[in-house]
């Protein structure tokens, strides 16, 4: 094996460079994974353009799949050649929250792609306990296991019931994952809300029964036309101040709201929206990450099981594939919105494979 690898290295805001760097060394309890596919997360985009608070230089990327090519002498749970998906969060297992099994809320966690080098590279060294076998799952689909687990964490914790009407605000990749899990959970009426007709069409294909384009209609009025009394559950997946307020207005009395979208700016609520919280006696829950006990949790294990069963539609969600050398271009495309995108993947070995196609 060569001693050097290609990587997309971040040196500062809006500064990612395609470079040759040493292949990472691995400890006795770690393995070296050849990264086959890595997805771009919304949190990655924020870190590249808005806020970075970890050491530099850095390598981002935490939604990845690959093949184990080397392993430490103490690794017993995996063999060389196994196909795996990475679990990016390493809890401390000793804090108050970890002892209660709330690993997503660990006080002292470490995260691949921020505290340590991530997967926008051809290889990554990682503890074997932070891997799950994917067997014959396609590498591109496997790279979506982590965000799928995030979506499932939200659905499981908001506890939808048969007969509920659920609104999904924001139907990008996260919202589309949520819609699929809601359908699997038995929810019959799903209202997809977005500003993109294309995303709304895709949402209909995977289970949404109603759609609202927020640029063409009043979201609150339309939801009450569909439901009369408002929706039973709202899943906020956009992370915008508009949808975060709309969530409070479209939800019925005694209804539930799950906030999955990350806010990147201050939120100011109208008097009517704020009063909805107590006048309707709303249950509001924040959903963070994707983990439960036993670690990493049923969110991960069920995601893998349902992909294997063919119950999740994933390939059609991939809108862009970029070689590793074009990682910065991928982020610029996402920021500028010059093209409509859905799930964006980075392929670390794309250049090497082009000549054999």
Q: Are residues 182 and 278 in the same domain?
A: yes
Give the chain's mean pLDDT: 96
Question: What CATH code is carried by the domain that includes residue 54?
Answer: 3.90.180.10
Helices (H), 4-79: 42-49
Q: Are residues 239 and 268 in the same domain?
A: yes
Q: Are residues 189 and 244 in the same domain?
A: yes
DSSP 263: P
**Alpha-carbon distances of 263 from 147, 223, 225, 234, 254, rounded to whole Å:** 17, 23, 29, 16, 24
Q: Are residues 42 and 98 in the same domain?
A: yes
In a domain, residue 230? The reply is yes
| DSSP line for 198-231 | HHHHHHHHTT-SEEEETTTS-HHHHHHHHHSS-E
The bridge status of strand 165-169 relative to strand 189-194 is parallel
Q: How many domains does the chain have?
A: 2
Please give the distance of CA 50 from its chain centroid, rounded to a whole number.
19
In a domain, residue 119? The reply is yes
332-349 pLDDT tens trace: 999 999 899 999 999 999
Q: Are residues 332 and 249 in the same domain?
A: no
Write out the residue range of the structural domain in which residue 102 sits.
4-144+314-354
Which pTM does this prediction carry? Answer: 0.95
19-40 pLDDT tens trace: 999 999 999 999 999 999 999 9
Q: Nearest-CA neighbor of 124 among 60, 54, 55, 53? A: 60
41-62 pLDDT tens trace: 999 999 999 989 999 999 999 9
d(CA 34, CA 24): 11
Binned at pLDDT 50, 70 and 90, residue 234 comes out as: very high
In a domain, residue 234? The reply is yes
309 CB contacts (<8 Å, ≥6 apart)?
A: none
- E-strand ranges in 13-82 read 15-22, 30-39, 63-71
Question: What CATH code is carried by the domain that includes residue 189?
Answer: 3.40.50.720
Q: Are residues 11 and 117 in the same domain?
A: yes
Are 231 and 250 in contact by the 8 Å Cβ rule? The answer is yes
d(CA 202, CA 207): 9
Q: Any bridge partners for residue 124, and if so which?
A: 33
Q: Are residues 39 and 115 in the same domain?
A: yes
Q: Are residues 213 and 342 in the same domain?
A: no
């Amino acid at each position: 094996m060569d001693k050097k690898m290609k990587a997309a290295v971040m040196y500062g805001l809006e500064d990612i460079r395609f470079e040759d760097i040493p292949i990472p060394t691995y400890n006795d309890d770690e393995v070296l994974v050849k990264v086959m596919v890595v997805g771009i997360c919304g949190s990655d985009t924020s870190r590249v353009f808005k806020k970075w608070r970890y050491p530099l230089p850095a390598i981002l990327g935490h939604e990845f799949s690959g093949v184990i090519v080397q392993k430490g002498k103490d690794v017993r749970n995996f063999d060389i050649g196994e196909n795996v998906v990475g679990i990016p969060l390493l809890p401390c297992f000793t804090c108050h929250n970890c002892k209660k099994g709330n690993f997503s809320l660990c006080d002292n966690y470490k995260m691949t792609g921020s505290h340590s080098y991530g997967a926008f590279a051809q290889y990554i060294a990682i503890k074997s306990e932070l891997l799950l076998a994917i067997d014959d799952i396609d590498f591109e689909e496997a790279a979506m296991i982590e965000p799928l687990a995030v979506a499932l964490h939200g659905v499981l914790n908001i506890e939808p019931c048969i007969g509920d009407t659920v609104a999904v605000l924001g139907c990008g990749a996260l919202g589309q994952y949520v819609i699929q899990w809601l359908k699997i959970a038995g929810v019959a009426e799903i209202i997809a809300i977005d500003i993109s007709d294309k995303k709304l069409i895709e949402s209909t294909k995977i289970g949404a029964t109603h759609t609202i384009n927020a640029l063409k209609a009043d979201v609150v009025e339309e939801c009450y036309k569909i439901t009369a009394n408002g929706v039973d559950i709202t899943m906020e997946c956009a992370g915008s101040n508009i949808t975060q307020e709309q969530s409070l207005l479209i939800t019925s009395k005694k209804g539930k709201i799950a906030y999955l979208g990350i806010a990147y700016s201050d939120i100011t609520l109208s008097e009517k929206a704020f009063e909805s919280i107590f006048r309707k006696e709303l249950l509001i829950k924040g959903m963070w990450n994707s983990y439960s006990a036993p670690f990493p949790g049923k969110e991960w294990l069920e995601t893998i099981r349902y992909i294997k069963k063919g119950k999740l539609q994933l390939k059609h969600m991939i809108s862009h594939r970029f070689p590793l050398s074009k990682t910065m271009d991928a982020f610029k495309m996402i920021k500028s919105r010059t093209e409509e995108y859905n799930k964006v993947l980075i392929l670390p070995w794309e250049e090497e494979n082009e000549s054999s196609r």
